Structure 1
Amino acid sequence: MSAHSLRELRGSLGSVVREVAMSGEEAIITDSGTEVAVIISMADYERLHEHADVADALRLRDMRAEGFSAMSLAEMMEALGVSADEVLAS
């Protein structure tokens, strides 16, 4: 893992991104010494999304097992007190 300030990235973003892509190690981005962002490889990004999808599916399975059921868009809008006209007007 490497750390880079925003100021430093102005001249070296390309090389930092290439290094992350090649090594698979993330790069932490700092602003005035505070960690504000991270650059990760595409492979890590895809892996994170796969894990999130699995976690969402497991959570949905557990919710259904507890008796929760899906609701239609119309039911959701009614529960939120929102009309179709309000949505279309925005």
Structure 2
Amino acid sequence: MSTQSLAAVKAHFSQVIDEVAGTHERVTVTRNGSPVAVILAVEDYESLVETLEILSDPRARSDIRQAEEAMAAGEVYGEVEVRAALAARRR
């Protein structure tokens, strides 16, 4: 993530947008030395919104917590086991 002044962003706005879209790096915009805005790619913004929606869902948080506990307890599956389970579901 880089930080640029508002004046610099205004002077090179198209270049900043191209950089953000191409690299998925965020740009923090400052005014008088203080951060006032962040520029990020739409794809990254949408991903953040989706993450917030998932983490706002108590059931999803519980499912994630249970999965993490299962992984920590060694309850993991390899590729062969996952493929077999998926194939069985398709039948």
Q: Same fold (TM over 0.5)?
A: yes
Alignment of 1:9-28 (within 5 A): 9-28=9-28
**Percent sequence identity over matched residues?**
36
Question: What's the offset of the Cα at 1:52?
Answer: 1.0
CA distance in 1, matches of 2:58, 2:26: 28
Question: What's the offset of the Cα at 1:50?
Answer: 0.5
1:36 alignment counterpart: 36
TM-score for both structures, normalised by structure 1: 0.60
2:4 alignment counterpart: 4
Alpha-carbon displacement from aligned partner over 1:27-51 (angstroms, at most 9, x marks no partner): 0100011111111111210110111
Alpha-carbon displacement from aligned partner over 1:39-75 (angstroms, at most 9, x marks no partner): 111121011011111122227x88xxxxxxxxxxxxx
1:48 alignment counterpart: 48
* RMSD of aligned Cα (Å): 1.8
Alignment of 1:59-78 (within 5 A): none
Question: What's the offset of the Cα at 1:7?
Answer: 1.1
Unaligned residue ranges in structure 1 (runs of 5+): 63-90
Deviates more, 1:5-14 or 1:29-38: 5-14
